[in-house]
Structure 1
Amino acid sequence: MTQRLPPSLTPLDTALAALLRDVDPVAPVALPLSEAIGCVATGAPQVAVYPPHDIAAADGWALRANDLVGASAYAPLPLATAPVWVDAGDALPEGCDCVLDADAVEVSGPLAQVLAEGVPGQGIRRAGADIAAGTTAGVEGYPVGPADLLLAGVAAVDRLSVRRPRLRIVNVPGATTTAHMIAGFARAAGLDVKALEAAARDEASIADVLDASACDLLLTMGGSGLGRRDAAVTALARRGELLAHGIALQPGRTAALGRLGKVPVVALPGSPDHALAAWLALVLPLVDRLSVRQPRRQMTLPLARKIASSVGIAEVALLAEEHRAWMPLAVGEWPLQAIARADAWLIIPARHEGFAAATPVDAYLMQE
């Protein structure tokens, strides 16, 4: 089957190449741990070995295992010297190599007796058991995650070097719900998000707030279609350069691309499904270029059923993982419940008619 591309639509690959042209990475910044999560690491600082010495893993009595041989509740073993009580995290006293529970030792005045044997290493954490030599907080080119913050915090590293592109979202009245959704995805992707709303849907009102002086990427939300009140595209053309309007992408075909000076601009449709598809297909590659992010992780699973697609236009499919297979939820047109259920997404190239059932496909995860 052959479908001719409408002359008004720009092929996705062509549009993406124009959008990425001359886009340079943002400069690294050192952020507090609380602000670094989700941002792409620009370095991987080595963290100190932890614990630096043997410590107690739990509250109890610090003892030497060789001194406890034969001890039991039926044959208590008197101790020549009083045992040392330690709390979890305390350094082990010199010569001790195990920590027994509180009820394993009876203390009566100056006398103490042990009711159980111990083995070396019992109840303790060895030096370097949690963080070995050479461990880094984060991996260069990948987002900082909660585990990276844990390592950094334990090792007393209070800042991480990351790239955090500055995103400005201009909401056209009537697309507030969609703008909130995209802002949430943007924050999860490690962007510094600032949002504002145009006073009205007309070209002049939108043009008034198209300011790229303090951002690395600008998105408009709504007003990109062909209706009488859809003025975001004309406002972009008035203030800057319009690269393309109408992309061979479904959902998302009414998206537009441009620049304000050197700052790339993407005009997203107001409909949630069209905006999200354009975010995935157009904006995420731009974010990755600005952040110098390594390729996003894909998961390969067979399709639970076939996906049919129209030749001539790239279509985005939403997928859910079911029984170690990808179950297609929606292709080309997305009900909102499909967006809520989706675990992954897949772009079907314009030259493809789709994929047969059981075909292994590489899909990007919605959350990573």
Structure 2
Amino acid sequence: MTQRLLPSLTPLDTALAVLLRGVGPVAPVELPLAEAARCIAAGMPLLSAYPPRNIAAVDGWALRANDLVGASSYSPLPLTELPAWVDAGDAMPAGCDCVLDADAVEMSGPLAQVLAEGVPGQGVGRAGGDTADRSPAATAGHPIDATALLLARVADVERLSVRRPRLHIVNVPGATATMQMITDHARAAGLDVIVHQAGTRDAASIAEALDVSVCDLLLTIGGSGVGRADAAVTALAQRGAELTHGLALQPGRTAAVGRLGKVPVLALPGAPGPALAVWFALVLPLIDTMSGRQPRRAVTLPLARKIASNVGIAEIALLAEERKAWMPLAVGEWPLHAIARADAWLLIPASHEGFAAGEPVDAYMMRE
């Protein structure tokens, strides 16, 4: 059976509403730090103050600043007791509030004299100076980044609570490069990704690989068009999926969206540009909802030149930042060189004819 697009293309807002219907944040899971990286933080453990006490921030001599007033190389100050030497990270000795460099204290047998003054806190890491008591390792709703992992490690936290939606990708033969690109984007977004390869491009083989029992979202990649060898939408329908085939989105017109049971499903085109456009326009909002992620930050800059768009269909433009302005690289059709150069993407609603040169626009970064 040949796949057919609907007589009229489905508006982007309608397609997104179909995907988001009844969808909320997935349940948090606790993961080891290495696995939690890039996932979206859920409830974070409260860290203890770090360092837990005053420590030496540098190697040197631990002393009391008030005892060093007037000391200089021209007027050395003799000490009645030998000072304590501390390595960086050592606890500060009682009564000491500064650390002087090694050459600031001159030793002569059992005697010592100081050649420089000190100030309270010099060379000292204050208790709680790195993290305050009862501070979180990360903010709920934001990705776990390298800083959050650092804070957790220094506080001896071994696991973090995150939301990590499970994504099942079924790749149709002939779309492997696109599948690998989407997989990389999914893992960068903190998803738990499982990839299956359909044996052949026919509907029966694709349908056999479709499984929503252990995922929160199902994607097929490739075979979403109306060519003689395209059968992904037919395969989904055979498994009972309710689908809308054909989107008012360019690139990405031949994608399909719907539900297989309670699980949102999307059939992405096999070409990199259309697949990536559907990822940005539909999959990202869906997985952000599932992850409980805070809204993504848009970067506002003026357009370096005009962007024209067709009313009635949403289009996505690829942009590069040049001289504090957005330079359009591609609109509607995305060659690979434009994808490689792009810094950001801009959604042009179906109701717009485009944007004038110099007009400020809100674009989302390709890589966060």
Same fold (TM over 0.5): yes
Q: In the alignment, which residue of structure 2 is the partner of 1:77?
A: 77
Amino acid across the alignment from 2:60:
G
Q: In the alignment, which residue of structure 1 is the partner of 2:333?
A: 333
The separation in 2 between residues aligned to 1:363 and 1:73, in whole angstroms, is 60
User: After the TM superposition, which parts of structure 1 deviate over 4 Å for at least 4 consecutive aligned residues?
Assistant: none
Residue 265 of structure 2 aligns to a residue in which SS? strand
The separation in 2 between residues aligned to 1:337 and 1:108, in whole angstroms, is 70
Amino acid across the alignment from 1:58:
V
Deviation of 1:134 (Å): 4.5
Instruction: Assess if the C-alpha contact under 8 Å between 2:23 and 2:289 holds in 1.
Output: yes
Are 2:358 and 1:355 aligned?
no
Q: How does 1:158-197 map to 2 (within 5 A)?
A: 158-197=158-197
Q: In the alignment, which residue of structure 2 is the partner of 1:264?
A: 264
The separation in 1 between residues aligned to 2:161 and 2:196, in whole angstroms, is 28
The separation in 2 between residues aligned to 1:322 and 1:62, in whole angstroms, is 52
Q: In the alignment, which residue of structure 2 is the partner of 1:214?
A: 214
Q: In the alignment, which residue of structure 1 is the partner of 2:118?
A: 118
Could you report, residue by residue, the CA deviation over 1:33-84 in whole angstroms, capped at 9, with x for unpaired residues? 1111221112233211111221111111101112222222233222111111
TM-score (norm 1): 0.95
The separation in 2 between residues aligned to 1:145 and 1:260, in whole angstroms, is 33
Segment drifting more, 76-85 vs 44-53 = 44-53
Q: In the alignment, which residue of structure 2 is the partner of 1:51?
A: 51
The separation in 1 between residues aligned to 2:306 and 2:88, in whole angstroms, is 56
The separation in 2 between residues aligned to 1:235 and 1:198, in whole angstroms, is 11
The separation in 1 between residues aligned to 2:243 and 2:202, in whole angstroms, is 21
Root-mean-square deviation (CA, aligned residues, Å) is 1.5
The separation in 1 between residues aligned to 2:88 and 2:8, in whole angstroms, is 68
Q: In the alignment, which residue of structure 1 is the partner of 2:307?
A: 307
Unaligned residue ranges in structure 2 (runs of 5+): 1-5
The separation in 2 between residues aligned to 1:299 and 1:151, in whole angstroms, is 28
Instruction: Assess if the C-alpha contact under 8 Å between 1:236 and 1:258 holds in 2.
Output: no
Q: In the alignment, which residue of structure 1 is the partner of 2:31?
A: 31
The separation in 1 between residues aligned to 2:146 and 2:201, in whole angstroms, is 40
Could you report, residue by residue, the CA deviation over 1:199-230 in whole angstroms, capped at 9, with x for unpaired residues? 11111111110011111111111111111101
Instruction: Assess if the C-alpha contact under 8 Å between 2:82 and 2:112 holds in 1.
Output: yes
TM-score (norm 2): 0.95
Instruction: Assess if the C-alpha contact under 8 Å between 1:18 and 1:243 holds in 2.
Output: no
The separation in 2 between residues aligned to 1:249 and 1:350, in whole angstroms, is 8
Instruction: Assess if the C-alpha contact under 8 Å between 1:311 and 1:352 holds in 2.
Output: yes
The separation in 1 between residues aligned to 2:94 and 2:24, in whole angstroms, is 56
The separation in 2 between residues aligned to 1:293 and 1:67, in whole angstroms, is 54
Deviation of 1:7 (Å): 3.2
Are 2:169 and 1:205 aligned?
no
Deviation of 1:196 (Å): 1.7
Q: In the alignment, which residue of structure 2 is the partner of 1:233?
A: 233
Could you report, residue by residue, the CA deviation over 1:236-293 in whole angstroms, capped at 9, with x for unpaired residues? 1101213211111001111111322211111111100000000011111110121122
The separation in 2 between residues aligned to 1:215 and 1:68, in whole angstroms, is 67
Unaligned residue ranges in structure 1 (runs of 5+): 1-5
Q: In the alignment, which residue of structure 2 is the partner of 1:129?
A: 129
Amino acid across the alignment from 1:15:
A
Could you report, residue by residue, the CA deviation over 1:100-136 in whole angstroms, capped at 9, with x for unpaired residues? 1112122233222222221111111112211124522
Residue 74 of structure 1 aligns to a residue in which SS? coil
Amino acid across the alignment from 1:230:
D
Segment drifting more, 304-313 vs 103-112 = 103-112
Amino acid across the alignment from 2:128:
G
Are 2:109 and 1:109 aligned?
yes
The separation in 2 between residues aligned to 1:314 and 1:277, in whole angstroms, is 11
The separation in 1 between residues aligned to 2:20 and 2:229, in whole angstroms, is 29
Segment drifting more, 292-301 vs 348-357 = 292-301
The separation in 1 between residues aligned to 2:357 and 2:178, in whole angstroms, is 33
Instruction: Assess if the C-alpha contact under 8 Å between 1:63 and 1:98 holds in 2.
Output: yes
Q: In the alignment, which residue of structure 2 is the partner of 1:142?
A: 142
Instruction: Assess if the C-alpha contact under 8 Å between 1:57 and 1:89 holds in 2.
Output: yes
Could you report, residue by residue, the CA deviation over 1:88-107 in whole angstroms, capped at 9, with x for unpaired residues? 11111011111011121222
Amino acid across the alignment from 1:352:
H
Instruction: Assess if the C-alpha contact under 8 Å between 2:242 and 2:260 holds in 1.
Output: no
Are 2:310 and 1:288 aligned?
no
Are 2:10 and 1:10 aligned?
yes
Q: In the alignment, which residue of structure 2 is the partner of 1:151?
A: 151
Could you report, residue by residue, the CA deviation over 1:311-343 in whole angstroms, capped at 9, with x for unpaired residues? 111000111222221111111111112111222
Q: In the alignment, which residue of structure 2 is the partner of 1:3?
A: none
Q: In the alignment, which residue of structure 1 is the partner of 2:3?
A: none
The separation in 1 between residues aligned to 2:235 and 2:181, in whole angstroms, is 23
Amino acid across the alignment from 2:360:
P
Instruction: Assess if the C-alpha contact under 8 Å between 1:303 and 1:358 holds in 2.
Output: yes
- Report the number of matched residues: 364
